Amino acid sequence: MTAITDRQKLAYIAAQAADARVNVELETEGMTLNMGPQHPATHGTLRIVAKLDGEQVVSADPVMGYMHRGYEKLTEVRTYPQVTTLVNRIDWLGSFANEVPFILAAEQLMDIEAPPRAQWIRTLLFELSRIANIVLFLGDMAVQLGALTPVFFAFRDREHVLNQIESVTGGRFHPNFDRIGGLKDDLPKGWIAETKAAMEKIRTFCDEIEDLVMGSEIFEARTRGIGVIPPDIGLQYGLSGANIRASGVDWDLRRDGRTGMVYDQLDWKVWTHTDGDSFARFWVRMQETREATRMVDQLCDGLPSGPIMAKVPRIIKVPAGEAYVATENPLGEMGFYVVSQGDLTPFRVKIRTASFNNVSITPWLLRGVYVPDIITILASLYFILGDIDR
Amino acid sequence: MIAALDLPYWAQTLIKVGVAAIVVPTGAAIAVYLFLFKLISFMQSRLGPMEAGPHGTMQLLAEVGKWLQKEDIVPERADQRLFKIPPFIILGSTFLMFVVIPAGPTAVVSSLPTGIFYVLAVSSVSVIGVLVAGWASANKYALMGGLRAAGQLIAYELPMVLAVVGVVIQAGTLNMQEIVVQQSHGAIFGFGGIGNPYVLTQLVGFVVFMIAVQAELGQTPFDMPVAESEVVGGWMVEYTGIRFLVFFLSEFAAAVGFSAIASTLFLGGWSVPATWFDPMSGTGRFLMHFGGPIILLTKTMVLTGVIFWVRFSMPRFREDQLQRMAWKFLIPISLLNIAATAILKVVM
Amino acid sequence: MPAPTPKVPGFLKGLGVTARTAKETMFPDGMLRNPVPAPSKGAATVQYPHVKEAPAPRARGVISLNEDNCTACMLCARECPDWCIYIEAHKTLAPPRRAGGKPRSVNALDRFDIDFSLCMYCGICVEVCPFEALYWSPEYEYSEVRIADLLHDKSRLGQWFETVPDNEPYEPGAEVKKKPVSRKGAK
């Protein structure tokens, strides 16, 4: 046993005093449990400092930043194509979706519009990223709750989508495909038919998950009524994406924001749920996956012919100005605020990520729940650490 | 058969103990390979271990070798002696369970007259091992897992015992060998074609027993003590190497043991219906010396398969839901089952 | 909108899903047509390294160098986000194009190394090269025991050139024209 320094002694006494404030009536001690940064349930290096009274949470604070990579500083010394490469790695499960708002902001500054075929394929790959991301969520929430099998189905059927992304872009996880003015390359022969076959498999997967997970009474018992987010509280905390739509707020940037993608030419609907609990968030994401497969089918059918790239100079110097573009990424609202001073590199890029705001509600949400419910709530909020910490 | 060789009692006991000591880990190993390596893999569209031995049959041997050569780590702040005890407690209670399970007309280590009572009592000793492991690990996650286990394992002892009481009333004896013989020689309303396996008349008891067994083993949907995504291994989290190997093998040996008990009590154990051929006399008895263990093994593996099939398909309960299910649902049902059995036994 | 309530007791349906998947893995042709279990055929996984799946032709596996085309313009080294390309060149005199003319001064490559331990596989170098000296190849089996061996020099990069696939045809409706991979003179 090493000797305890005075400082450690004081820290120990302070911790005991804090624990003693818990449960004064029964005069029992509370327990501070550190979940993470290495923990199977926290999707990465998130740390939740939970003060427990038995199995009930008195307070819980998330500690973020274990994966901070300094993106906003990195972008100040990288050219626009290099930033596109880096930005793939923020939300690494649906990584094409990260490039899009940045490219749209740069296109807005350069006053260039991508040709229609490029916009359609951009939307196609965006929805494929959404499917890849949310399919993993459907399996992952089940495994957090103890069902070992659905996550394997998720990875198995996600392979079809990743293979499609690979045959177009060359990379399964980091496509690096979006360019200012269009896309890097066009679709290889046979891709449309293969993608439609992959969508069939995703729809079968959704049905399997509905039988295996959503229909299970145990799953319902674990998720109904857990982690209810009232819509006004959710909006105050800046929640976005399926989290807020599950509380009944009908807000979807694909329909309500101005983007350079072709959602207004498709026939689709926004799914909402009134309960606002973990089950509602799972349900909304399941329906969104099905809706995304239908959108991909429509995009495959209606693809216009034409060039894939607008006339863009070889060395890209973006004129001075500021632009903010936010899109409905798989995790929520992701926005890039690009400030340019006419150089090869952006002057400042501020990245507004969805998971940062989604996690900020955990102190409010985790009071008074049981320890297993912490896991359920974190799983249903669905954040990616790269998205929180950048 | 061993008695026919006219050996002194101590030699017979030694042979029986030796055979049991080989059979139990082998049974556990078969269960591990078939279900943990292969069944879950096929359910997940993958193949499981394939490299070690043909189709991965030697994988458990390779894993045993891996665990044996690991460093013996005891946490610094753990209670040193208490930390080392639980593997022995749990191993002992698991092995003791197999003493009264009959595998043939005379193939039983000791045919105690209080067979079932002894088995249920001895299998509850493992709770102490779990509690000690959870406390002695000096780890908050282990403590939480141990306390959850305490509540769960004690709560589900009752439905298990009460489910078995129905069988005991119907058979009129606690002796396991007698119960098997009664099922084999029995008849349902005069029709002796399939004997009288108690699963037909005690279906409620059978279902309650299997649910309680799932909870006693700590398998999903009742695996709160070792909930991997929450307490990351629960009470077992600080155990590595040989100690973990002991926990792992006794978990599967207990699964095999409880399935053997269930197949003995409800499915007729090692015997076949007496109308096919009498397993207790003549050539039937001679055949059953060899066929009995095989029949028991088959029935046991089927039930173990069901246990693991449910384990790999379900999410887990929260502990308060788990407790509510035991106290408010399973125990009243099993009490009703006992009452109905008693009434019908007297009436019919 | 409230979620639909399950009709069959939900967990029984879940058991059915796993049982059905196990059956499809073990008997991929159907139990009646081929009652012998064949899980190797029915599983969704392949047993690498006994069986290898071919990646897509566009897959970004490794970068290959066509040394004859390279003029050491340094564009790839400059544009790489990681600065993992190391180029050294010197000027020499090449023979004149026609007899009686002046000797031309060209860049001759001394060193062209790509450090694949730093490479992000983004493809900017391949895209930016004006002389089509760099190509993507879907080869991926080049892991090494030492990190230093991941620095591929000129000759090794040239050896990858054999594995570069030809450009594939596009979907109907595409108007992209890409120059075919020039293989004459490549080592």
Give 3-state DSSP helix, strand, coil % of chain C, rounded to 5: 25, 20, 55
Domain ranges of chain C: 6-53, 62-162
Judge contact between B305 and B35, C-beta under 8 A.
yes
* DSSP state letter for C38: -
* Cβ-Cβ contacts under 8 Å for A366 (sequence gap 6 or more): A48, A50, A57, A59, A60, A373, A374, A377
Q: Do B312 and A148 touch (CB under 8 A)?
A: yes
Lowest-confidence segment of A290-304, A361-375, B163-177, B227-241 by average pLDDT:
B227-241
* pLDDT interval class at B192 (50, 70, 90): low
Q: Residue A74: what are its φ and ψ, rounded to 5°?
A: -60, -40
Lowest-confidence segment of A361-370, B274-283, C147-156 by average pLDDT:
B274-283
Helix (H/G/I), strand (E/B), else coil: C60: coil
pLDDT value of residue C114: 92
Q: Is A211 on the interface with C (CB under 8 A)?
A: yes
Q: Is A98 on the interface with C (CB under 8 A)?
A: no
pLDDT at B347 over 70: yes
pLDDT value of residue C8: 56
CATH number of C62-162: 3.30.70.3270
Judge contact between B235 and B129, C-beta under 8 A.
no
Q: Is C186 on the interface with B (CB under 8 A)?
A: no
Residue % of chain C over a pLDDT of 70: 91
* pLDDT interval class at A389 (50, 70, 90): confident
pLDDT value of residue B230: 63
pLDDT value of residue A349: 93
Q: Is B315 on the interface with A (CB under 8 A)?
A: yes
User: Can you spell out the DSSP letters for B71-125?
Assistant: -----TTS-HHHHHSHHHHHHHHHHHHTTS---SSS--S---TTHHHHHHHHHTT
Cα dihedral across residues A4, A5, A7, A13: positive or negative: positive
Q: Do B47 and C40 touch (CB under 8 A)?
A: yes
Tell me the per-residue pLDDT of A314-367, one tens digit each, with 9 for 90 and over. 788 889 999 999 999 999 899 999 999 988 889 999 999 999 999 899 888 888
Q: Do B221 and A218 touch (CB under 8 A)?
A: yes
Q: Do C25 and B313 touch (CB under 8 A)?
A: no
Q: Which residue of B has its CA nearest to C21?
A: B43
- Nearest-angstrom CA–CA distance, A276 and C26: 41
pLDDT at B165 over 80: yes
* pLDDT interval class at C85 (50, 70, 90): very high
Q: Could you tell me which of A148, A144, A103 has the C-alpha nearest to residue A123?
A: A103
Q: Is C18 on the interface with B (CB under 8 A)?
A: yes
Judge contact between A107 and A113, C-beta under 8 A.
yes
- Joined together, the tokens standing for residue A185 give 């390359």
AA letter at C67? E
Region A271-284 average pLDDT: 90
pLDDT value of residue B229: 56
CB nearest B43 (choices: C22, C40, C47):
C22
AA letter at A78? R
pLDDT at A285 over 90: yes
AA letter at A82? Q
Q: Is C13 on the interface with B (CB under 8 A)?
A: no
CB nearest C15 (choices: B39, B41, B313):
B313
Q: In sequence order, what are the beta bridge partners of A60?
A: A50
Region A121-144 average pLDDT: 91
* pLDDT interval class at C87 (50, 70, 90): very high
- Nearest-angstrom CA–CA distance, B271 and B258: 18
Q: Is B283 on the interface with A (CB under 8 A)?
A: no
Interface subset of C 51-90, CB within 8 angstroms of B: none
Q: Which residues of chain C are within 8 Å of residue B309 when distances are taken between CB atoms?
A: 15, 18-19
Helix (H/G/I), strand (E/B), else coil: B185: helix
pLDDT at A26 over 60: no
Tell me the per-residue pLDDT of B208-219, one tens digit each, with 9 for 90 and over. 999 999 998 888
* pLDDT interval class at C4 (50, 70, 90): very low
What element of type H or E holds C109?
strand C104-115
- What separation in angstroms does the CA of B111 have from each of A98, B115, B167, B176, C46? 70, 7, 18, 7, 50
Lowest-confidence segment of A293-302, B22-31, C95-104, C110-119 by average pLDDT:
C95-104
Region B177-187 average pLDDT: 83
Chain A: closest CA distance from residue B297 (Å): 27
pLDDT at B252 over 50: yes
* Cβ-Cβ contacts under 8 Å for B76 (sequence gap 6 or more): A1, B138
Q: Could you tell me which of C21, A167, A183, A306 has the C-alpha nearest to residue B42?
A: C21
- Nearest-angstrom CA–CA distance, C178 and C184: 17
Chain C: closest CA distance from residue B220 (Å): 13
Please, what is the angle between helix A96-110 and helix A116-144, to 10°?
150
Q: Is C26 on the interface with B (CB under 8 A)?
A: yes
- Nearest-angstrom CA–CA distance, A339 and A323: 7
pLDDT value of residue B258: 92
- Nearest-angstrom CA–CA distance, B101 and B293: 11
pLDDT value of residue A194: 92
Interface subset of B 147-166, CB within 8 angstroms of A: 148
Q: Do B314 and A370 touch (CB under 8 A)?
A: no
* pLDDT interval class at C102 (50, 70, 90): confident
* pLDDT interval class at A122 (50, 70, 90): very high
Region A234-259 average pLDDT: 87
Region A301-323 average pLDDT: 87
- Nearest-angstrom CA–CA distance, C19 and B193: 31
Q: Which residues of chain C are within 8 Å of residue A86 when distances are taken between CB atoms?
A: 81
* DSSP state letter for B329: I
What element of type H or E holds B300?
helix B282-313
* DSSP state letter for C51: S
Stronger pLDDT, A152 or B280, i.e. the higher one: A152
Q: Do B313 and C44 touch (CB under 8 A)?
A: no
Compute the count of residue pairs across chains A and C with CB atoms less than 8 Å apart: 124
Judge contact between A124 and C163, C-beta under 8 A.
no
3-state secondary structure chain A: CCCCCHHHHHHHHHHHHHHHHCCCCCCCCCEEEEECCCCCCCCCCCEEEEEEECCEEEEEEEECCCCCCCHHHHHHHCCHHHHHHHHCCCCCCCCHHHHHHHHHHHHHHHCCCCCHHHHHHHHHHHHHHHHHHHHHHHHHHHHHCCCCCHHHHHHHHHHHHHHHHHHHHCCCCCCCCEECCEECCCCECCHHHHHHHHHHHHHHHHHHHHHHHHCCHHHHHHHCCCCCCCHHHHHHHCCCCHHHHCCCCCCCHHHHCCCCCCHHHCCCCCCCCCCCCHHHHHHHHHHHHHHHHHHHHHHHHCCCCECCECCCCCCCCCCCEEEEEEEEECCEEEEEEEEECCCCCCCEEEEECHHHHHHCCHHHHCCCCEHHHHHHHHHHHCCCHHHHHC
- Joined together, the tokens standing for residue C141 give 């089996």
Domain ranges of chain B: 18-347
* Cβ-Cβ contacts under 8 Å for B344 (sequence gap 6 or more): none
What element of type H or E holds C152?
strand C151-152
Looking at chain C, which subunits does it touch, using at least 3 CB pairs closer than 8 Å as the criterion?
A, B
pLDDT value of residue A283: 92
CB nearest B42 (choices: C11, C14, C39):
C39
pLDDT value of residue A296: 93
pLDDT value of residue A294: 93
pLDDT value of residue C3: 46
Region C160-186 average pLDDT: 78
CB nearest C18 (choices: B47, B50, B313):
B313
Q: What is chain C's mean pLDDT, rounded? A: 83
Q: Do B321 and A147 touch (CB under 8 A)?
A: no
Interface subset of A 306-365, CB within 8 angstroms of C: 306-308
What element of type H or E holds C113?
strand C104-115
Tell me the per-residue pLDDT of B41-73, one tens digit each, with 9 for 90 and over. 888 888 888 888 888 888 888 888 998 898 888
Q: What is chain B's mean pLDDT, rounded? A: 84
pLDDT value of residue C2: 44
Tell me the per-residue pLDDT of B106-151, one tens digit each, with 9 for 90 and over. 778 888 888 889 999 998 898 899 889 888 888 888 888 888 888 8
Q: Which residue of C has its CA nearest to A118?
A: C174
pLDDT value of residue B191: 67
pLDDT value of residue C187: 42
pLDDT value of residue A2: 47
Q: Which residues of chain A are within 8 Å of residue B42 when distances are taken between CB atoms?
A: none
Looking at chain B, which subunits does it touch, using at least 3 CB pairs closer than 8 Å as the criterion?
A, C
* Cβ-Cβ contacts under 8 Å for A266 (sequence gap 6 or more): A295, A298, A299
* Cβ-Cβ contacts under 8 Å for B224 (sequence gap 6 or more): A372, B148, B149, B152, B234, B316, B317, B318, B319, B322
CB nearest B221 (choices: A146, A213, A370):
A146
Place of tokens 């690009």: A338
Mutate: best of C25, C46, C58, C127, partner A, most A CBs <10 A: C58
Q: Is B314 on the interface with C (CB under 8 A)?
A: yes
- Nearest-angstrom CA–CA distance, C27 and C21: 10
pLDDT at A286 over 80: yes
pLDDT at B231 over 70: no
- Nearest-angstrom CA–CA distance, C110 and C131: 18
What element of type H or E holds B59?
helix B59-68
- Nearest-angstrom CA–CA distance, A104 and A127: 16
Judge contact between B313 and A145, C-beta under 8 A.
no
* pLDDT interval class at C186 (50, 70, 90): very low
Chain C: closest CA distance from residue A309 (Å): 9
* DSSP state letter for B226: G
Tell me the per-residue pLDDT of A41-92, one tens digit each, with 9 for 90 and over. 667 788 888 888 877 888 888 888 888 999 999 999 999 989 999 998 898 8
- Nearest-angstrom CA–CA distance, C150 and B93: 55
Lowest-confidence segment of A31-40, A246-255, A352-361 by average pLDDT:
A31-40
Lowest-confidence segment of B142-156, B203-217, B220-234, B309-323 by average pLDDT:
B220-234
- Joined together, the tokens standing for residue B27 give 């049974």
